[in-house]
Each structure stands twice: as structure tokens, then as C-alpha cells.
Amino acid sequence: MRLILAPMEGLADQSLRDILTRIGGIDLCVAEFVRVTHHLLTEKFLLRTVPELATGGCTRAGVPVRVQLLGSDAVCLAENAAFIASLGAPGIDINFGCPAPTVNKHGGGASLLEFPEQMHTIVAAVRRAVPREIPVTAKMRLGLNDTSQALACAQAIAAGGADEMTVHARTKADQYRPPARWEWLALIRETVSINVIANGEVWTVEDCANLRAVSGCEDVMIGRGAILRPDLMHRIKTGNDAMQWAELQPWVADFFQQLRDRMEPQHAPKRLKQWLGMLRTAYPEAEILYQQLRAERAPVVVAKILAAHR
């Protein structure tokens, strides 16, 4: 079994990827999408979004980070994919699932799920452009408004030459409403000959086992569950007890320090607040820090967290 950290734009950035992969249990990350329009992205821009490109395409813990592209122009996607591969990316993933209206207006993300032929063209073009030893993969939802094209989309990805695919078991119309339609993962897995990575609604160790049982998929991608419970993947792999707050707090402090090292002073507390806001559902202790940040008493919070980090 491989456990993969999901791409989460605006949430799972380089610092969280660093922290979560050092906590352990994660075999692979997919970075948040990079939007491709009509030009070649610059190295500077790519290194800002996926800084792991500067360190062999891996996090500090040595976990590979695949770069995800979002767009609808096959030629442009292929040219950018080749460039990103030349920068040392350990894999290129193509986004066929993003539901954001601005993205879909330009024909990228989930809107392509209505056009399996175009998905095939894109995957084939990217596969041709990238050296054979570098995996080209895709991530899809089950459809735009319904699941009628789900199997056709999966077949298009496989026939285009993708090495494996992730399926987020929801349509765009489902948004993030539970439950995810795990039963569709089994259908897709039986339809295509490439590896299918299962994704959607894994919050606990038991969820992961249930998802694997229902879908028959070996590998699982986890998104929000890994942010809420940073040791989730580690526990799935080891069967260890859940991490207590005292153990987690130094990791939160480390995260905050990384933010402060690379961001404008006013932005770091906002990002910390975002993570604490999610952590507090699993860790009541995070609630206190979260409320202090909400009250803009950031220096108090900083002092507390960093004291624990010394």
C-alpha cells in the first residue's frame, strides 16, 4: 500500500508537505495545481510553487513531490510538462477535477470531464513530451453533474498512456458533500488496466481500511484528513496510538517558524490560523491558540508555541 498526500491549493503548501512527510507514513505527495494558459511557465514561478524542485523533487524527508498541471491546451500543457520534467520533477499529474468556476470557465479542471476525447488528447500529448522514466498521472472526479461519463473518462486517461490515476469519488456537483461514492472506484479499477488510487473521505484509520475493502484499490490518497490529524498516515502504516497535542505542538511551532521565515509578517499568522482552525476538531488544545489568533493576539500565540519548540 502507498499513501499519498493529496494536492490542496492554498492549504497543503511546501511547509505542510515538509511537516507531514517528516511526521511520516506518506510515500508520495502531489503538489497543488499549477495553472497553464498560453505560455511557458518560468523556472522562478515553478520554484516558488513547488520549491521541492530545487531539492531533487523531494521533501526534506525524501518523499517525492509530483507537480500537478491544470489547463485545457494540450500543446501548452505538454511543453510545460517537458520543461518541468527537465527541472527534476519526479512526476507530472494532470488535474481533471478542480471545481473552481474561474478554472472551469477557461476549460480546465472538472469541466474537461464532459470531453473524454480531449482528456485523452491532453494525456497523450503530455506523455509524449515527458521522458518515459518520469510518471505521467491524472486525477479525476467522477463527472461534472453525474457519473454517466466516469468510465469513459477513466478509459481516456488510461488509453492516453497515463501510468496511474487518482479518482476522487465524487462528481463536481457533489462538491465535498459526504458520503463519497467509493463503489465507483471498484468499477473504474475493473475497467482500466492501470493503477487506480482511491481518494475521498478518509478521516480515520478505519476509513482507510473500509475504502480499500470497498474499492479493491491498493493505494490511497488522503487530503483533509491528513491536515486534521497529521499522524493519520503514520498510524495507518504502523498501527500506533494517536499523537497527543504535546507531541504535535513542536511540529506546529516548526510550521509557524517556516512561515515566518518566508512570508510577510502579516501573512504567517493567517496561515497558522487556517491550520489551527482545522486541528481544533481533533485537538481541543488548538482551539485556545486559534481563538487568540482570531482576537489578533498573535504575539501571545507565537510566544506560547515557540516556547514549546525550544
Single out the residue of 227, 232, 307, 308 nearest to residue 274, CA to CA: 227
Nearer to ligand FMN, 33 or 253 (CB): 33
CB 41 to ligand FMN: min, Å: 15
- The closest of 278, 206, 199, 266 to 236, measured between CA atoms, is 206
Please, what is the minimum distance in Å from the beta carbon of residue 119 to ligand FMN? 14
- H-helix or E-strand spanning residue 69: strand 65-70
Q: How many CA atoms lie within 13 A of 262 on its CB side?
A: 12
User: Do you find a cis peptide bond into 299, omega within 30 degrees of 0?
Assistant: no
The DSSP annotation for 184-203 comes to: HHHHHHHH-SSEEEEES---
Residue bearing cell 497558522: 272
Phi and psi at residue 139, in whole multiples of 5°?
-130, 125
265's grid cell:
509578517
Catalytic residue (one of 29, 98, 153, 217): 98
* The three three-digit cell numbers of residue 64, written as one number: 517525492
Nearer to ligand FMN, 7 or 160 (CB): 7
| Residues 90/63, Cβ–Cβ less than 8 Å | no
Q: In angstroms, what is the minimal distance from the CB of 202 to ligand FMN?
A: 5
* Residue with smaller CB distance to ligand FMN, 31 or 302: 31
Total number of residues shown for the chain? 310
Q: Residue 125 or residue 232: which is nearer to ligand FMN going by CB?
A: 232
Nearest to 286 by CA among 299, 301, 271: 301
33 versus 249: smaller Cβ distance to ligand FMN:
33
Output the smallest distance, CB 300 to ligand FMN, in A.
28
Residues contacting residue 236 through CB under 8 Å, at least 6 positions apart: 3, 25, 205, 208
Q: Which cell is 156 given?
A: 481516456
Q: Least separation, in Å, of the C-beta of 32 and ligand FMN?
A: 4
Q: Which three cell numbers stand for residue 22?
A: 517528516
Residue nearest ligand FMN, Cβ-based = 223
Residue nearer to ligand FMN on the CB measure, 95 or 149 = 95
- Residues lying near ligand FMN in the complex (CB under 6 A): 6-11, 32-33, 68, 95, 97-98, 139, 168, 199-202, 222-225
What is the closest distance, in whole angstroms, from the C-beta atom of residue 225 to ligand FMN in the complex?
5
98 in active site: yes
- Please give the positions annotated as active site: 98
